[in-house]
Each structure stands twice: as C-alpha cells, then as structure tokens.
Structure 1
C-alpha cells in the first residue's frame, strides 16, 4: 500500500465536496423536525432532486437552473407529504417511507433517457488571491459556490433558531403545538412551510450529487445518503453546527476509504465501502449512550412533539 499517494490537502478538499449534499439534506430535515414533524422521505426527495436537477441542467445547459429544478422538484414531492400528514393526519413514519419508495421509483422512470450523459460543468468560484495560498488555497478556497452557500445556510439556520422570532415560533410549535396554537400561531402553516424548506434542501443536495459530486445520472445514486442525513440530525442533537460536524465526519470517512482503495489497502473493497455507514452507526450509539450510571440520554434533545399529529380542537 502506497500512502504517499494520498494528498492531505486534496483529501480535505474532497471531504468538503462529499459532505455538501449530506449537510443540505440534514439541515432541511433538522428544520422539519424542530417544527415537530418526522419526515423519513429524505432519500426519496434527494433522488428526485438529483434527476430533476440533472435533466434540467442537461436540457438547458445551465447548472444553476438545474439546482433550482432539483429544489423545486423535491419541494413539490414534500408538499404531498405535507398534505397527507398535516391535513389528512396520516401516519408520518409510514407516509415518509412511502415517499422514499415513490421517489426512488419515479426518479428511475424519469432518468431512463439520461444514463451515460454528462451534465454541464459547474464552475468553481474565483476567490482571487485566496486560491493561490499554499495548501490552504486548494483545501478551502477552490470550490464551487454551493459549498460556501451550504456553510452559510448552516450558520443562518443556527442564528435563526437561536435569535429570531421565526426560530422561536418554529421551536414552540415543535415543543408544544397545543400551547403554540393557544397563543395564536398557525401550527399547520408553520409545519407545511418547514416541510417545503426541508424538501427544497434535500432536492439541492440531490442535485449537487448528480451535477458535482458524481457528475452523471445512475439509478439509486443517493445510495442511502438520505438515511445518513436523518441519522446525522440525531447525532447533531438537532443543532445545526453539530450537524455540520457529523456530515464532515461521514464525508471524511467516505473520501478516506476511496483513497485507501486507490492506495491498494489489502482489505476487501466491500469492507471499505461499508465503513462510512458502520462508523456513523457506531458514533450514533456512542452519542446516544448514557454518560453516567442512571443518567438518561442527556445528549439528545428531540422536540417534544416530534412525530405527533396536530388537530386544532374547535
């Protein structure tokens, strides 16, 4: 095995790209869950966003329109989930699973004519002298715009939840929807908007996968990324900055195992390929375990009304 072939700067740069779709999907789901809704359809929304973004980018030649289409397509799918769970009061877990199955099947149908086609290239952001900084320039200042927008979105959601009135209302709806309703807040409206936002973020993550991370369309290309995003929300204790850390851990392990394969590590490829998911599960178990004898799961702060349907009494 030749470890000298692995460049640390290239490894970190690849880590940021690999983590971006996970961060987007996880941030969207975090907002949804902070509003008290559990949407297990992230995988389905991501894959639909991937094919919508890919198809529009190929047909128009514009990656920007592709990202918009990915977000809109996934948000439209999330609107179905919102209608079924918030107005018809269907079970959120079952509806989310159905959404994933529908997204996987529908994306496969749409994508039949796009296999083997390369999308238009997404240009990297020109940051001038910053790009020329030795080592740091190639690691942090040589990426496309979506990488930086994703980081900005993470800090914006953190600030919104902590300091803004919108964040206060969102948290109130997630913690006690009956009290929020009694105070005059439109619980259903808040939750529907949160679901649409989560769908749009998942769609952006899917579009990033098909346009940048793996610039091609293949059936089932999300490969469980939506489920990892769901797990990372729990790992991050429903806090944006911890979600960012969790996504970078997963992205780092993913990129590292690919580099180890290329370096010729004498371990079966199947073990290396499953290592990111295995390590994510181990981290989740460690984070969820009680820290002291007799102590509860202090690290987890799930919204009190998560997954509970709301029906305004008349």
Structure 2
C-alpha cells in the first residue's frame, strides 16, 4: 500500500506542475486585464520547440530555455494584436490555440516515437527516504525549480509594488494611467510572462512528464488551466490546491494501471458487487475522462453565482484600453 501511495503522489506532482505553471501564467495575465485563451497553443509550441532542440542538440536545459522563449514570443505576438491593435481577445486567443496545435503537429511529425532521455529524478537525502511522503522529495530539478518559481511569482503578485501595479491595471486601467503607469507596457509584460510560463509548462511535459513527443501531447491541460483560474477565483493559493486536485484525477488512470495486479489480487476474496464497483471505478477510459468531467462540473458549480465571479474577477478583464 505504501508503494502504491508513493507512486500516486509522485504521479500527482508530475501532473499538477504543468497545471500550476500554465494556470499561474494565465492568472498573472488576467490580473493585468488580458484574457488569453491561447494557453494550450503556447504550451504545444513550447513543447515541440523543447523536444526538437533537446533531441537535436542533446542539451536538455537548452531545450527547456528555448521552450520558454517560444512561449514568450507567441504571447508577445498575441499581446501586440490585443493590446496594441485592440483585436478581440477571445477570438485572438482561440486563433493562437488553433495555430499552436497545427504548427506543433507539423513541426513534430518526424519526432513522433523518437526516444528522449529527459531529466532524471534527484532525491533529497533523508527526506526522500520517508515513507509515502518521500515521493515529494524525489523529483527532477525542473520540478523543484518550477515549484520555487511559482511561489516566488505568487509572492511578487501580492507582496510587491510591481504586483500591485499589475493588479491595479487589471482593476482600472484608466485610473492607473492617470497616476502615471504605462498600462500598455504592464499588459505587454504580464502577457509575455504568462506565455513564458505556458512554454515552461509545455517543456516540462515533454522533458519530465512523458519524455517523448506526440501530437497534442498536452492533452487539454491548457484549457483546464484556464478553467482553473476561474475555479481558484484568481487566487494563487487556491490555484495550487486546484491543480493538485486535477492532478490527482489525471493520475488515477496511471496509478490504477500500475496497481492493476495488486487490485486483482485484492478482489479475489471480495463479494461480487464489490468486484463490479471496483472494475467500473478503475475503468481506464472513465479515469482518463475524470479531469474534463470535473472541469465541467466545477465551472457549472461556480457559474451558479455570477455575482461572486464578478466580485473576484479583475474589473477590466478582456476590456481593451486606448491611452
């Protein structure tokens, strides 16, 4: 049982980190008043760029850096369109996702099935030897760095003058402009940071989580990250908890497959109705669909009270600003 729980915890962490990175990047972007629905596209572009550079050069850190830069570049193009040219943010974000899906599939077609070593686990002495929770301290270097980065950005957003400026621009760009802040520059910066975080999430997916490339490898994580921001009511702490919850749901299928033999051995002496219930609950297709089912349920539950959403959402979200 300890081995199963350790495996499940490790899998949850791996599944939650891309959600945390992409979700926090989108949260920062939205706090500045920009709605970017292109998270999935930026993740895929970052993922394919990371894999191509890592595979061709053999340098994983270089591939990781390129993935982050590609995400930032894609976000800068989006920012130019919606912040400078004042295009519709929803339509532009959807176009970015469609572009990212198609372009990543085209660029990565020759890399499908190619092996990639990826980052290895770096266990922290003593802490990694603890039963069950030791899995928390047996992660790769990008995992540790991602967690530290997420915490630092969260603190900057709510505990620094820079974060206050970003949030003020999202609440009332006209007031922020009247007291001397460059609203356009702030929105540009927040959007690019969000894109870089999405690129990092895509890079993490191919270098740590799957260590391979295939079309649509992110599996809708970008869309879940966008929903997670609403689920968290634009608060980083709630976003972290939500990412762990969704990570658990994404990991149940892998954990059930890994423990299939143990589950079958346990079912031998159980009643027929218990066997039927367990077999239904451990169905691979059902477990793989859980994150998306949960996303729909959570959004429906939150949407029952629009006043609460308006109270927590940035007041100028998705609204263009012309100085």
CA distance in 1, matches of 2:88, 2:68: 25
Superposition TM-score, scaled by structure 2 size:
0.89
Q: Residues 5 and 164 of structure 1: is their aligned pair in 2 closer, same or farther, counting only changes over 3 Å?
A: closer
Q: Give the alignment partner of residue 259 of structure 1, picking from 241, 255, 258.
A: 255
Residue matched to 2:194: 198
**Aligned ranges 1:161-200 → 2 under 5 Å:** 161-200=157-196
Once the two structures are overlaid, the 10-residue window that deviates more, 101-110 or 142-151, is 142-151
Structure 2 spans left out of the alignment, 5+ residues = 265-277
Deviation, structure 1 residue 140: 1.1
Q: Give the alignment partner of residue 293 of structure 2, picking from 278, 299, 306.
A: 278
Query: Structure 1 residue runs of 4+, over 3 Å off?
Result: 287-290
CA distance in 1, matches of 2:253, 2:311: 29
Q: Give the alignment partner of residue 237 of structure 1, picking from 216, 233, 237.
A: 233
Q: Residues 89 and 299 of structure 1: is their aligned pair in 2 closer, same or farther, counting only changes over 3 Å?
A: closer
Once the two structures are overlaid, the 10-residue window that deviates more, 109-118 or 119-128, is 119-128
Secondary structure (helix, strand or coil) at the match of 1:125 reads strand
CA distance in 2, matches of 1:26, 1:211: 19
Superposition TM-score, scaled by structure 1 size:
0.92
Q: Residues 281 and 79 of structure 1: is their aligned pair in 2 closer, same or farther, counting only changes over 3 Å?
A: same
What CA deviation, in whole Å up to 9, does each residue of 1:5-56 have, x standing for no partner? 9701110111001111111100100000000000000000000011011111
Deviation, structure 1 residue 248: 0.5
Deviation, structure 1 residue 142: 0.4
What CA deviation, in whole Å up to 9, does each residue of 1:116-135 have, x standing for no partner? 11123302224222222333
CA distance in 1, matches of 2:81, 2:101: 19
Preserved CA contact (<8 Å) 2:4 2:255: no
**Aligned ranges 1:107-118 → 2 under 5 Å:** 107-118=104-115
Once the two structures are overlaid, the 10-residue window that deviates more, 4-13 or 299-308, is 4-13
Secondary structure (helix, strand or coil) at the match of 1:296 reads helix
Secondary structure (helix, strand or coil) at the match of 1:22 reads helix
CA distance in 2, matches of 1:116, 1:300: 47
What CA deviation, in whole Å up to 9, does each residue of 1:101-150 have, x standing for no partner? 0011111111122111112330222422222233332x211001222222
Q: Give the alignment partner of residue 303 of structure 1, picking from 295, 303, 314.
A: 314
The answer to whether structure 1 residue 21 and structure 2 residue 18 are counterparts is yes
Residue matched to 2:271: none
Give the RMSD, CA atoms, in angstroms. 1.9
Q: Give the alignment partner of residue 223 of structure 2, picking from 224, 227, 245.
A: 227
Preserved CA contact (<8 Å) 1:45 1:103: yes
CA distance in 2, matches of 1:22, 1:300: 24
> What is the number of equivalent residue pairs in this alignment?
304
Secondary structure (helix, strand or coil) at the match of 2:217 reads coil
Preserved CA contact (<8 Å) 1:155 1:241: no
- Structure with bigger helix share is 2
